Amino acid sequence: RDLSHNDITGPIPSTLGNLTSLQAVDLSQNKLNGTLPVELSNLPSLHIFDVSHNLLSGNLPNSRFFDNIPDYFLSDNSGLCSSRKNNSCGAVMPKPIVLNPNSSSNPLSQSTPSSPSSKHHKKIILSVSTLIAIAGGAAIAIGVITVTVLNRRVRSAASHPKPAIALSDDYLSQSPENDASSGKLVMFGKGSPEFSTGGHALLNKDCELGRGGFGAVYKTVLRDGQPVAIKKLTVSSLVKSKDDFERQVKVLSKMRHHNIVTLRGFYWTSSLQLLIYDYLPGGNLHKHLHECTEENTLSWMERFDIIIGVARGLMHLHQHGVVHYNLKSSNVLLDSNGEPRVGDYGLASLLPMLDRYVLSSKIQSALGYMAPEFACKTVKITEKCDVYGFGVLALEILTGRRPVEYLEDDVVVLCDLVRSALEEGRLEDCMDPRLCGEFAMEEAIPIIKLGLVCTSQVPSNRPDMGEVLSILEVVRSPQDSPGDEMV
């Protein structure tokens, strides 16, 4: 179950260990505290347990699963301890000495605390000549360091000319934890040369647009005034080598289509990778479907246009050998005219291998869109996985319902709900009530049936995106006026 980003507080209940059939749960990006219950060791079917970005503490439960759990499932929980990381909770680690150039205090005075009595019995007396010698040596050392630093700065300025494109200083923030001393920023297109730049995080938390399984997205502005969206990848430890990363990113940058978000560039250091995209002011489709009022809901024509636009974008990707892997409503963005553009495509190709364990937990964070073959190691992952996700997305657009809804005592899967309605002859009951009946039944029914075919459990029974687009274009007959089609 995906319970991430819900501001859940308190400890994880030990009764979770009674759910012996539990296979996957995502509790990341919440405010959970306390220790991980030992009862979790009793879950034989559990293969995904993401509790990253919480406030958890204590040792990991002793079980085979937690002995092999990936570190990124536990990241950003400063109190969690693990013997496999040589970080046992029982160990008392000495406080490190941190030299802060912005601090006037003596760091050594904080690292060796002593009681007044110990100071009384341990006095160190230095002669005047010794003090003078120490001071002289320190002055010489400072002089040598200063000259060395100045020489390095001069050489650095000569070898790294000022870049032709720079990010606005208003949107820069230092991030020494995630940045190296220098990084490589490459912008694609005419007049956008490849260049090296200083170690900036290029991000501003106040401009965060959202988070997903692959990373957080921020809005920033280039110095020429162009707004862009920057995706900070949160799977740095899994990303390919620099050369492979650049090669694959350049392939993705060539995916130019009216219904695809353009990849404008990338930024690389060994510990930080950023992808730079066009910024689209219309927001993502998920917000329009699930967070808008009835007055601002998408019309039938707008929904049909979005479905066709997404189909065109996916077909273009597939024609160029790119599999999306993570199609969902939050990865469909709208421009200022309401035109859809598919984003976050092909990010799985940046990993060293298509690890299904990683894909199902981080990339495919919305389990409702995931094709069933992701759970079977013997079945090849192909474009038909995207077709399945498209079918779920089409049903989501028509019904206004989420792919999976967790009720108090039940779980409603959208595909199953619509399939039952089709068998009982009440498809009109599935349509989004916010449309108030203003939709074309002659178009809605074929699209619903197409969505169900796309979500077939057998990949070979699903059409390809070219066939999907052909069907959609036939369904929308240009000779019929919109007024005659409304029920």
The DSSP element (H or E) to which 32 belongs, if any, is strand 31-34
The residues near 197 (Cβ < 8 Å, ≥ 6 apart) are 160, 163, 166, 182, 183, 184, 185
3-state helix, strand, coil in the chain (%, to 5): 40, 15, 40
**Long-range contacts formed by 243-250: CB under 8 A, 24+ apart:** 244/352, 245/273, 245/350, 246/186, 248/346, 248/349, 248/350, 249/275, 249/350, 250/188
User: What residues form DSSP beta bridges with 56?
Assistant: 34
Whether 404 and 413 have beta carbons less than 8 Å apart is answered as: yes
| Nearest in space to 63 (alpha carbons), one of 48, 80, 45, 41 | 41
Whether 237 and 159 have beta carbons less than 8 Å apart is answered as: no
Whether 403 and 411 have beta carbons less than 8 Å apart is answered as: no
Q: How far apart are CA 356 and CA 363, in angstroms?
A: 10
Query: 341 exposed, middle or buried (CB, 10 Å; 0-12, 13-18, 19+)?
Result: buried
| Nearest in space to 175 (alpha carbons), one of 214, 226, 213, 230 | 230
What tokens were used for 360?
A: 């199902």
| 77: Cα within 13 Å, side-chain hemisphere | 30
Q: How far apart are CA 216 and CA 261, in angstroms?
A: 16
Question: What is residue 252's three-state secondary structure?
Answer: helix
Beta carbons within 10 angstroms of residue 391's beta carbon: 26
Whether 221 and 228 have beta carbons less than 8 Å apart is answered as: yes
Q: What is the CA radius of gyration of the chain?
A: 28
Distances (CA, A) of 375 to 24, 208, 341, 359, 390: 11, 33, 28, 10, 19
Q: How far apart are CA 453 and CA 477, in angstroms?
A: 21
- Diameter over CA atoms, the chain: 102
Q: How far apart are CA 345 and CA 327, in angstroms?
A: 8
| Nearest in space to 144 (alpha carbons), one of 156, 133, 136 | 136
122 is in an annotated binding site: no
Start-to-end CA distance of the chain, whole Å, equals 37
Residues of the binding site for ATP? 232
Binding site members: 232
